[in-house]
Structure 1
Amino acid sequence: MHRLFQPFSRAVAGFALAGAALLAQPMSAVQAQVPVDGSVGARTASALADRGEFFLGLFNGGERDGFMRLGWIKTEDGVILYDRSMMPSAEVYETLAFNLTPSLEFDRVHLQFHRGMSYMVLNLEFTDGRATGSRFIDAVEETETQPVDFNVPDGTLPRPVAFLMPLVMGEAEGTAESFHWYGPLGNAFADVTVTAYPGGEISTPAGDFDTIRYEIRGGSPDNDVYVTRGDNRRVVRIDVVGQDMQFLAVPMPASGS
């Protein structure tokens, strides 16, 4: 990674793609053909609504400091997974789009990451277990284009899938799912496990909720995801373990904002 962008991943370690959020809102869309192959990705995709979007407020030290908007759309070819996130105190804005297979494995990635006066654009394509593409960095006084080429193990899923899984996993304490993830911002792989525990009563700007807590362990940082019980689950809180940072359910903004 370019030296001017090395602080990026540290500044947003608990922020970029740290979680799904409030109000999964199913809408009509073309149903993807999800293979029944037993994989974590296939089972998660088949259980998700055809389309949904989450919105969560970011709080640093108890003060509001941005948001995350994470959504997915099932298509005839697979699933589009997208993220729009902002943290004004760090002058950070991220826009990320994954084109995925019906089992939520990688097809293409497009990432734009802005911080202050600099920005990075990453484009990747995934074929036969390899990712290829380019990373472009504009740091005002200098620019750089870097070729990208690396191996991707079979079954690797995008990091955000871990934050969709609590919407569809079992509620019983100890229920767990494990998989291998890849996060393009930090160019990092990890083996992660998502495990269910009682969450208790949670207070947020959007109200109080009785929850299940899903621990995500193995990545950096770890996260605790609090989800409402029963049908039509909502993610109402995400803690960034080891940091004074939370994502909390807030009222949804007006459409298009």
Structure 2
Amino acid sequence: MQKFQRHIGRAWSALAIGFAALMLAPGGAALAQDSVGARTAAALPDRGEFFLGLFNDGERDGFMRLGWIKRDDGVILYDRTMMPSTEVYETLAFNLAPDLQFETIHLEFHRGTSYMNLDLEFANGRATGNRVILRLEDVEIQPVDEAIPEGTLPRPVAFIMPLTMGEEEGTQESFHWYGPLGNAFADVTITAYPGGRIRTPAGRFDTVRYEIRGGTPDNDVYVTRGEDRRVVRIDVIGQDMQFLAVPQAETGGE
């Protein structure tokens, strides 16, 4: 497990990659409809995805693919991240209610010869399931039974939320997040600032910069202005790591 923990910070820089429940108080239907999660989900198109190249010290070192699919009964949120220099490959799939309440999480995390599988179900304010760590010499099963604070949102939502926020400087959202890979909770705030015109392998873009502060690590997310907004750059604060838009021919698909 220590081998995984050493690389949690970098692996989760790409994510978008953890989830928790938006619990309703008695008679709280109106609150749920106006929650941060509900507003974010309502403002998103029916489906979307962004594919960014991962760059370490200015050199290409993998990718991040983060997207969502809205259904009548909820939202699927998914992430695929690869960083070959550390032999890391991570895949997440979340089933969420329409207001982004948790239903299930499936996480797979590979590094070198080790592999971790995490399956969680959410009910009554708790996450339960198993974390299974497979090594060449053994298998370790860790039961999970975690209380999830009311109003918690999946960590990857922080990277998607700027697409739904206003462009005016000072526009702000705050929420509590949960990241399942490191079993991490944090109170984060997202604030809009002018991003200027930035250069990426996919071209130059006029952007708004959204500062995500309060988590580990913090991030800056650059989103294009106007219609058909795109996430075109994510900086990992305190590390020489960036995620940048790449030419359409590289984005591919499953």
For the criterion TM > 0.5, the same-fold answer is: yes
The AA in structure 1 aligned to 2:4 is F
**Distance in 2 (alpha carbons) for counterparts of 1:217 and 1:159:** 12
Asked if 1:5 corresponds to 2:1, the answer is no
Q: 2:246 is paired with a residue of what secondary structure?
A: coil
**Distance in 2 (alpha carbons) for counterparts of 1:234 and 1:39:** 24
**Distance in 2 (alpha carbons) for counterparts of 1:16 and 1:133:** 21
Alignment partner, residue 256 of structure 1: 253
Alignment partner, residue 88 of structure 1: 84
Distance 1:51-1:123 versus aligned 2 partners, 3 A rule? same
Deviation at 1:139?
1.2
Match of 2:240 among 220, 241, 244: 244
Alignment partner, residue 201 of structure 1: 197
Asked if 1:167 corresponds to 2:163, the answer is yes
Contact 2:9 2:217 in 1 (8 A): no
Alignment partner, residue 24 of structure 2: none
Q: 1:192 is paired with a residue of what secondary structure?
A: strand
1:48-197 equivalences under 5 Å are 48-197=44-193
**Distance in 2 (alpha carbons) for counterparts of 1:220 and 1:139:** 27
Contact 1:16 1:94 in 2 (8 A): no
**Distance in 2 (alpha carbons) for counterparts of 1:80 and 1:169:** 20
**Distance in 1 (alpha carbons) for counterparts of 2:180 and 2:37:** 18
Contact 2:64 2:81 in 1 (8 A): yes
Q: 2:42 is paired with a residue of what secondary structure?
A: helix
Alignment partner, residue 212 of structure 1: 208
Distance 1:225-1:254 versus aligned 2 partners, 3 A rule? closer
Deviation at 1:155?
1.5
Give per-residue Cα distances to partners, 1:154-203, cap 9 Å, x unaligned.
Answer: 12110010111111101110000000110111110111000000000100
**Distance in 2 (alpha carbons) for counterparts of 1:92 and 1:254:** 19
Q: 1:12 is paired with a residue of what secondary structure?
A: helix
The AA in structure 2 aligned to 1:73 is I
Q: 2:13 is paired with a residue of what secondary structure?
A: coil
Contact 2:235 2:243 in 1 (8 A): yes
The AA in structure 2 aligned to 1:97 is A
1:224-235 equivalences under 5 Å are 224-235=220-231
Paired residues in the alignment total: 241
Distance 1:156-1:196 versus aligned 2 partners, 3 A rule? same
Residue identity (%) = 72
Q: TM-score, normalised by structure 1?
A: 0.90
Contact 1:14 1:243 in 2 (8 A): no
Q: 2:131 is paired with a residue of what secondary structure?
A: strand
Contact 2:51 2:251 in 1 (8 A): no
**Distance in 2 (alpha carbons) for counterparts of 1:150 and 1:3:** 20
User: Deviation above 4 Å: which 4+ runs of structure 1?
Assistant: none
Give per-residue Cα distances to partners, 1:194-250, cap 9 Å, x unaligned.
Answer: 000000010000000110000000010000011110111011111000100000000
The AA in structure 2 aligned to 1:166 is P
Gaps of 5+ in 2: 18-30
Give per-residue Cα distances to partners, 1:28-47, cap 9 Å, x unaligned.
Answer: xxxxxxx9721100000000
- Superposition CA RMSD, Å: 1.6
